[in-house]
Structures are given as C-alpha cells and as structure tokens.
Structure 1
Amino acid sequence: MEPLPTPATRPGRDGLAAILARPARALVALDFDGTLAPIVPDPEKARAHPDALPALTALAPKVAAVAVITGRPADVAVRYGGFAAVPGLEHLVVLGHYGAERWDAVTGEVTAPDPHPGVAAVRAELPGLLESTQGAWIEDKGHAVAVHTRRAADPQGTFDALREPLTDLATRNGLIVEPGRMVLELRPPGMDKGVALSEYVRELGAESVLYAGDDLGDLPAYAAVDKLRSDGTPGLLVCSGSEEVTELSKRADVVVDGPEGVVRLLQAIAAQAG
C-alpha cells in the first residue's frame, strides 16, 4: 500500500488529519468522470476505474458517507460506476445533475424534480444549430443537454467556436452553459457541485470533508470546501490531474495522477482510517 501523500497546504494537512482522526464523522465526496472514471471519447462508454469499486467498498463503512457528485443523471452514474446492490456501499449516495437528483444505496431509488422547460426547447434547437459543425456530438442528460467536441478534427477550435452560440441559446431558454473538458453543458441555473456539497455536509453533520475532482465544474465544490474551512470544518481538496485542465491543480492540496491516483488515495485513507 502506498503511503498517504502530504498535502501541500496547512489547511489541507489539517483536513487530512481530521479525516483520519474521526473517519466516522467524515464525508468523502468525488466527481465521477475524470475522477473515478477515465475520460473517454464516447461518454456512454465511460466506466469507473476497475479498482474504484473495491476502494470505495473498503472506505465507505469507515466514514460517515461517500458522495459521488456528478453532472450526469444519477442512475447513469450508478450504472457506469457499478454501485447498485454492492455490500459495503450502504453509506453511498449519488448526487446527479449537480445535486438535483439523488440516489441512495440504502433504498436503490432516485428522487428528482420535474425537468426545466428550457431543456426541451434547447433539445429541439440544437440539431439545427450544429448542422454545419463536423464532429460535435449531443448527449441528452434528461435534465440537461451537453455538446461534446472531443471527436472533432479540431476539438478545442470547435469548442471555442460553439461557446458563444450555445451560450446565446441557453440564455434565451433560461439555462446556463457549464464548460468542461471538450464539452459545453446547457443546464438549469441554481444548482452546482458546491451547492450540492454544502447541503449534504449540513444534512450529514459532517465534521470534515474531502472533495476530489478534475474539471471546471468542480471549482464550485472547491469553493464550498474553502468556505467550510473558513467556518471551522476541516477539508481536503484533491485534484485528479490532467493536462487539459490546470485550474484545479493550482488550488488543490493534493494532486494525484488521474483516476488511478484517486483510487490509490482512497485505498490509503481506508487503510489508515482503522
């Protein structure tokens, strides 16, 4: 077993120490794509790292809860992660659509609000808007719609060219655009990973928190951990490192090598949590 890394900041070291000192009062929160699951060209083929489920089943019984916070629909993340009906994962929740949906391992059920009407309007207009854009691909997330450019001949150029028209389309229909790693997601305002994380910390009464992410959509969760730390709740910020997005690594207490590094970190915490 690899040793735990030493966080680069004092707040990070305090956060890790608090998690290890009282793991039963700690929340471990994780993004899915790029953090638990490697990024792949086709999002429908994304699956959790092979060692992620064993790491989570080793860790989950020792902490207050493990939360997967994702922009994906909750049931999709559950399916792609292999989380359903796994012994040891009773303390797992999946907060899908940035917290608008919730799946609990205990019940196996998803609770969700009615879809925002703007999503249906955007869904209808997008094919025409993208008709002349080669390689852009639409992912229907139910409560949101995402446009991926990773398959285009020039992924970054296509991403940049689409950002303004997609922002205009979203604004006209009461939505916002969430940029990510070669993806632009059009979704309802009012929920982000920071809101979802903060609300779940309060619900759980967690005394410490770890959050791991890899993309721009994880920055609100980083900000939420910063706020929790300023209010006296220790926290640890982990970046699942990539060359595509560097904003998180600049703010993280610990940077690991993608999902494999995240898995190793979870294994080490589980081993030392007793």
Structure 2
Amino acid sequence: MTANPPDGLKAIVADPGGAVIGLDFDGTLSPIVSDPAEARIHPDGPEVLVRLGGLVGAVVVVTGRPAATAVEYGSLAGVPGLVVLGHYGLERWEAGALAAPPVHPGLDLVRAGLPRLVEGWDGVRVEDKERAMAVHTRQAADPWATLEALREPVAALAAEAGLVVEPGKFVLELRPPGMDKGMALSAFLRERAARSVLFAGDDLGDLAAFAAVRASGLPGVTVFSGSPEIEVEADIVVDGPPGVLELLGSIADAIEGEAPR
C-alpha cells in the first residue's frame, strides 16, 4: 500500500470481512477508448479482482453502463460475490442474474431525436445504452467546445423526455432520474452492513459516490484515477486503471500478510 496509508485503508486491512470495495468501470478498471464498445478491462484486472473478492466483504462495480455489458467487457463473472450496479444503480447483476426496472418511456423520444440533434457535428457519436443515451465529443476537432455547444440543446431534449443529463469528460448522458452512484453505493453499504469502504472513480459521475463515502460515517477511502482536467478531492490519486489495480493488489497483499498462519 502507500507509505502512509489513510485510516480507511488500515480499517480495510484490519477487518476485510467488513469492507466494501466499490469501483467505477470506464477509466477505473478499463482504459478510456475512443469507441465505448471497444472498452475492455485492463489485462491485470480479472486476476486482481478475483483475488480481492475472496478476501473482502464485497466488491461492487457501480457504472453508467448496462450491468451485463460491464460484466462482459470486464470478464467479471468469476469474481467471488461480485455485484454490478449498472445504469447508476438502476440495474443489478449478481450471481448471473440481472434485475432491472422497465425502460423509461422518454427514451423513445430521445432515441429518435438525438441523432437529428447532433447531425452535422463532425466527430460526435451517439451511444445507445439501452436504458440511457449518450453523446460523445471525444473525437471532435475541439471536444470541449463541441460539448459546450451541445449542452443546452441536449438538456432541452432530456427535459422534454423527462430525463436528466449526466455530464462527464467529453460526454453528455441522458438517463432516467431518481438514482445516482452515491445513492446506489449508500444503499449497498447499508445492505451489507459495511464497516469500511473504498470507492475508485475517474469522472464527474463518480463524485456522488465520493460524497457517499464521506457521508457514510465509516472509515473510508476515495481513489481518483482520472485526468487533471477534472478537479476532485480524493484521499489517493493514481494513474488510471494500472494505478487502481496496483493499489487493489497491494491491499490484497496487506490483507494476506495480516491473516493468521
């Protein structure tokens, strides 16, 4: 672990059975790529998570992606006790079973209107996430300026459809209201009667989960794996998915070092 680990990390190592390890997917377990459909977990990820999952109370992936997609792209089905909360917590994958509410009716309007709204914007992509739609500007000539130009019309379309806009780095996601990563993580911590928590994320949508860690009253650790373009207060800052997995591996090492022989 780090040379002077935060108290939250010490609590996880001292009492791993009470620990919840929460993780975003894109930018945290998977490197960011131009085409979201090409995203895959870092090669070291499955082994590290399988190892850690056998040591702690629970590993939970909280992602904006469909839960089943995160399981597939992350090769996560073999992680012991893994739970994936997809679409910011609207979906739940556990032990091969997927639970999800009906699709929001406003998505039909967005699915029809969003491609027309971005027509003519070079490099802008629309992603259909089944229960949400996203506009990506990463491949535009000026990603930030394009994102800003689209922010207002996208918000207007979302409002008409009864959806909310979740902003991120070079992305605007239109999704159902009523749930975010913080709410999803908080509910999971209560469900598991957690005694400590770590959450790692890389983008604006993860800030609610960071806030949930701080509000939980538990010994907690926030880990930021994103870029310096996003200002975040976190206990530990690492360099992308390799840094996250190195940290998780060091936690597993420390737990095994503390175990009775």
Give the TM bin, normalised by the shorter chain.
Answer: over 0.9
Map of 1:192 onto structure 2:
180
Map of 2:45 onto structure 1:
52
Q: Which moved more, 1:118-127 or 1:69-78?
A: 118-127
3-state DSSP of counterpart to 1:273: helix
Q: CA RMSD in A?
A: 1.0
Q: 1:37 aligns with which of 26, 30, 34?
A: 30
* Aligned pairs (5 A) from 1:1-274: 3-7=1-5, 13-84=6-77, 86=78, 89-104=79-94, 106=95, 108-229=96-217, 233-245=218-230, 247-248=231-232, 251-274=233-256
* Number of aligned positions between the proteins: 256
Alpha-carbon deviation of 1:133?
Answer: 1.5
**Contact 1:95–1:196 (CA under 8 A) maintained in structure 2:** yes
Partner Cα distance (2:246, 2:141) in 1 = 34
Alpha-carbon deviation of 1:202?
Answer: 0.6
Partner Cα distance (1:83, 1:189) in 2 = 27
Q: Which runs of 5+ in 1 are unaligned?
A: 8-12
**Contact 1:240–1:261 (CA under 8 A) maintained in structure 2:** yes
Q: Which amino acid aligns with 2:180?
A: D
**Contact 2:20–2:198 (CA under 8 A) maintained in structure 1:** yes
**Contact 1:67–1:93 (CA under 8 A) maintained in structure 2:** yes
Partner Cα distance (1:189, 1:22) in 2 = 36
Q: Which amino acid aligns with 1:93?
A: V
Partner Cα distance (2:142, 2:224) in 1 = 26
Q: Structure 1, residues 22-57: CA drift from partner, whole Å, max 9, x if none?
A: 001100000000000000000000000000111101
Partner Cα distance (1:171, 1:256) in 2 = 36
Provide TM-score, normalisation by structure 1: 0.91
Identity level (%): 58
Partner Cα distance (1:35, 1:145) in 2 = 21
Alpha-carbon deviation of 1:243?
Answer: 3.1
Distance 1:254 1:122, change over 3 A: same
Partner Cα distance (2:223, 2:177) in 1 = 26
**Contact 1:5–1:254 (CA under 8 A) maintained in structure 2:** no
Partner Cα distance (2:142, 2:163) in 1 = 26
Q: Which amino acid aligns with 1:228?
A: S
**Contact 2:63–2:85 (CA under 8 A) maintained in structure 1:** yes
Partner Cα distance (1:96, 1:5) in 2 = 34
Alpha-carbon deviation of 1:5?
Answer: 4.7
Alpha-carbon deviation of 1:159?
Answer: 0.6
Q: Which runs of 5+ in 2 are unaligned?
A: 257-261
Alpha-carbon deviation of 1:4?
Answer: 2.9
Map of 1:10 onto structure 2:
none
**Contact 1:6–1:254 (CA under 8 A) maintained in structure 2:** no
Distance 1:5 1:128, change over 3 A: farther
